[in-house]
Amino acid sequence: MFLTITRTFKEAIKNFIRNGWLSIATVSILIMLLYILSVFFIITSIVNDVLKETQDKVDISISFQSDISEQSILEVKNELEKFSEIKSVTYVSKEQALENFKKSSTLRPIILQTLDVLGSNPLLNALVIKANDVNQYQLISEYIKKAPFNNKVSRTNYDEHKDAINKLNYIIAVIKKIGTALGLFFTIISLLITFNAIRITIYTHKQEVEIMRLVGASNSFIRMPFIFEGVIYGVVSSIFSMLILFISIKFITPYVSSVVPTSNLVGFYLSNFWSLLGGQILLGSLLGVIGSIIAMQKYLKV
Amino acid sequence: MIKFDSVSKIYKGDLPVLEDINLEIQEGEFISIVGQSGSGKSTLLKLIYAEEMATTGEVHFNNSLLNNISRRKLPHHRRNIGTIFQDFKLLERKTVYENVAYALEVAGASNEEITENVPQILEIVGLGGKMKKYPHQLSGGEQQKVAIARALVHTPMVIVADEPTGNLDPKSSMEIMQLLIRINSLGTTVVLASHDKFIVDKVNRRVLLLENGRIIDDCAKGKYKNIADCARGKNKTS
């Protein structure tokens, strides 16, 4: 048994090397497939991150009239928190709001000076609402308008943010649709190409398989080296694909970070290194093995 | 050892290739099967190494029936037989040494057996110096010698040779035939199919003439040219 396994393994490695150009061609196609899929995977997760970050930044705030007590505002807060669409409601007192405002406007000293001169706080107590999903703000805003506590509300900023929120919603929907379509398209096409390339590689050994049968090799003895060969294709291609991926990420990072400053491609690559490599090896070998088995079936007459 | 009992072979929707073949081959025999192309020689050999199955009748090998041999047993059956073909059928991606070693590997031979037997058998066929060459680096005659070495290395009971000299020049053909005769003299049964009367005459042993899938003649000691004599009763086997 051990003898067979070591022989099989040696045989597969020899075949891989002696195939020369055919191996190179098959591996190249496999590298291309794995590379495209990884790039797609990375783009998808980065876009998702950016979208999520942007979504998290979106909120609407209800400012209450200045004579409304903190107590009754908190009652409204409790009321709102009952809605499943609402992720969180935060009470922001006007003092806190001023504090936040001062922090965020450090670059505009004139405004700060004005505030000092004014002496009093022009801001209002408010509730900041975050929804679970960006397209639920419309619904929430409509509810607030009709709610019994609406007479206490000075204003909500939904209408000001409405266009931006809708636009964001639209963009997210479009990106998701395009992403899914492109992803499916690439995956199917490259799977087919790769699959075929592997089958062709095996088909060229048709005569070889026939001879092996004549010499008295059992089907498994014939098949195993080819299956191992499939695994070798997967492993070699994954390693190359990871290498190329790293180089292209290094190259593209300056351009990406000028557009999306928060992105960290190299960091993403490194922190996902093992899962990327593992996934590629798994997919590559699986394709290699399935391709071999299907191609072999024909000649082994099983 | 090999027995054909009223065997016919018909490929799907075609005329019969072999019809009513009754034949017995004894251990240690050297039998030449002659006849024109399409007379059914190759098919008869294929029935022996179970590449084809008889449509009707029975084919026995070493007292076991080959008609519906299972896929599991087929490789074991093949290991009893060494096959040699007109087109050599060597593994192009393997060296001379590896080609011969493969026949031992499939039977699960140990590494020691392989390193001992392969060079020895290659020495016997006269290719001791070319073990690391690939088939395409050899002449036709040399390639056929590799095939013979491969057929012999696992000491099979029978050597089946289908037109082994079909692609070779007369000198190489003679060498190959001498090898086969020598192998036979050491006790291995040889079944040869050929339409080359020169080499059949050279062997001067049992000759079987096939025509349109039927056995026309069976001479104990025949030469191609006097098979007709055989038909008139000279040297006829029982």
ipTM of the complex: 0.84
Residues 6+ apart with CB under 8 A from A11: A225, A228
- Write the CATH number of the domain with boundaries A59-161: 3.30.70.3040
Question: What 8-state DSSP symbol labels residue B134?
Answer: -
Return the pLDDT at B7. Answer: 94
List CB contacts (< 8 A) between B75 and chain A: 213, 216-219, 221
Residue B238 banded pLDDT, cuts 50, 70, 90: very low
Return the pLDDT at B58. Answer: 95
Return the pLDDT at B143. Answer: 95
How far is residue B28's CA from residue B31's CA, in Å, rounded to a whole number? 10
Beta carbons of A208 and B150 less than 8 Å apart: no
Question: What 8-state DSSP symbol labels residue B1?
Answer: -
Beta carbons of A211 and B90 less than 8 Å apart: yes
How far is residue A264's CA from residue B183's CA, in Å, rounded to a whole number? 74
Within an 8 Å CB–CB cutoff, is residue B87 touching chain A? Answer: no
List CB contacts (< 8 A) between A7 and chain B: 105
Residue A106 banded pLDDT, cuts 50, 70, 90: low
**Residue A126 burial (CB count, 10 A):** 24
Residue ranges per structural domain of chain A: 2-54+169-300, 59-161
Give the gyration radius of chain A's Cα atoms. Answer: 31
Return the pLDDT at B90. Answer: 94
Q: Mapping DSSP to helix (H, G, I), strand (E, B) and coil, where does residue B164 land? A: coil
| Contact by Cβ (8 Å): B52, B41 | no
pLDDT in tens, B174-207: 999 999 999 999 999 999 999 888 888 888 889 9
**B103 vs chain A: nearest CA distance in angstroms?**
6
Kindly report the average pLDDT of chain A as a whole number.
82
Mean pLDDT, rounded, for B20-40:
92
Residues 6+ apart with CB under 8 A from A267: none
Residue B232 banded pLDDT, cuts 50, 70, 90: low
User: Does A50 or B44 have the greater pLDDT score?
Assistant: B44
**Residue B227 burial (CB count, 10 A):** 21
Beta carbons of A208 and B51 less than 8 Å apart: no
How far is residue A282's CA from residue B158's CA, in Å, rounded to a whole number? 46
Q: Which of A28-37, B53-62, B224-233 has the lowest mean pLDDT?
A: B224-233
CA atoms within 13 Å, Cβ hemisphere of B146? 30
| Contact by Cβ (8 Å): B128, B142 | no
Within an 8 Å CB–CB cutoff, is residue B113 touching chain A? Answer: no
How far is residue B156's CA from residue A216's CA, in Å, rounded to a whole number? 11
Beta carbons of B106 and A302 less than 8 Å apart: no
pLDDT in tens, A196-221: 877 777 777 788 888 888 888 888 88
Distance from the Cα of residue A292 to its chain's centroid: 31
Strands (DSSP E) along B11-111, which ranges?
A: 16-25, 30-34, 56-61, 64-65, 81-85
Beta carbons of B93 and A221 less than 8 Å apart: no
List CB contacts (< 8 A) between B107 and chain A: 216
Beta carbons of B150 and A215 less than 8 Å apart: yes
Return the pLDDT at A268. Answer: 84
Distance from the Cα of residue B237 to its chain's centroid: 21
Amino acid at B17: V
| Contact by Cβ (8 Å): B23, B215 | yes
Within an 8 Å CB–CB cutoff, is residue B102 touching chain A? Answer: yes
**B14 vs chain A: nearest CA distance in angstroms?**
22
| Contact by Cβ (8 Å): B44, B18 | yes
pLDDT at A101 over 90: no
Beta carbons of B90 and A207 less than 8 Å apart: no
Amino acid at A156: T
How far is residue B194's CA from residue B202's CA, in Å, rounded to a whole number? 12
| Contact by Cβ (8 Å): B13, B29 | no
First to last CA, chain B: 17
Within an 8 Å CB–CB cutoff, is residue A1 touching chain B? Answer: no
**A231 vs chain B: nearest CA distance in angstroms?**
20
Kindly report the average pLDDT of chain B as a whole number.
89
Q: Give the ranges where chain B is alpha helix by DSSP (H).
A: 41-48, 74-78, 96-105, 111-124, 140-153, 170-185, 197-203, 227-231
Residue ranges per structural domain of chain B: 90-155
Within an 8 Å CB–CB cutoff, is residue A2 touching chain B? Answer: no
| Contact by Cβ (8 Å): B146, B161 | no
Return the pLDDT at A179. Answer: 83
